[in-house]
Amino acid sequence: MGKNVLIIGASGDIGQAVVTQLGREGHQLMLHYYQNKHFLDKGRTGLDEEAVLLTIQADLSKTEGISHLLRQLVFPVDAVVFAGGRAHYGLFQNTDETLMDAMLTLHVKTPWIITKNLLPSMIQQKQGRIILITSIWGEAGAGDEVIYSSVKGAQNSFVKALDKETAPSGIAVNAVSPGFIDTKMNASLLSEEKEEIIKDIPARRAGTPDDVAQMVRFLMREKSDYVHGEIINISGGWHL
Query: For residues 123, 128, 133 and 134, what is the CA-based torsion angle, rounded to 10 degrees?
Result: 40
Determine whether 148 is an active site residue.
yes
Q: What percent of the chain has pLDDT over 90?
A: 76
Distance in angstroms (rounded) separating the CA atoms of residues 230 and 223 = 15
Instruction: From the candidates 33, 89, 148, 226, give the one annotated as an active-site residue.
Output: 148
Q: Has residue 239 been placed in a domain?
A: no
Q: For the segment 68-106, what is each residue's pLDDT rounded down to a tens digit?
A: 999 999 999 999 999 998 888 789 899 999 999 999 999
Number of compact structural domains in the chain: 1
Dihedral angle, C-alpha 110, 112, 115, 117, nearest 10 °: -90
Residue 164 lies in a domain: yes
Report how far Cα 234 is from the mean position of its chain's Cα atoms.
Answer: 13
Does 238 reside within a domain? no
Residue 195 lies in a domain: yes
CA pair distance 234, 231, nearest whole angstrom:
10
- Give the global pTM: 0.94
CATH value at residue 205 = 3.40.50.720
pLDDT 10s digits, 134-192: 999 888 777 778 999 999 999 999 999 999 999 999 999 999 999 999 887 776 777 88
- pLDDT tens digits, residue range 195-213? 888 998 999 999 999 999 9
Q: Is residue 125 part of a domain?
A: yes
Q: Which domain holds residue 190?
A: 4-233
Q: Classify residue 22: in a domain, yes or no.
A: yes
Per-residue pLDDT, 39: 78
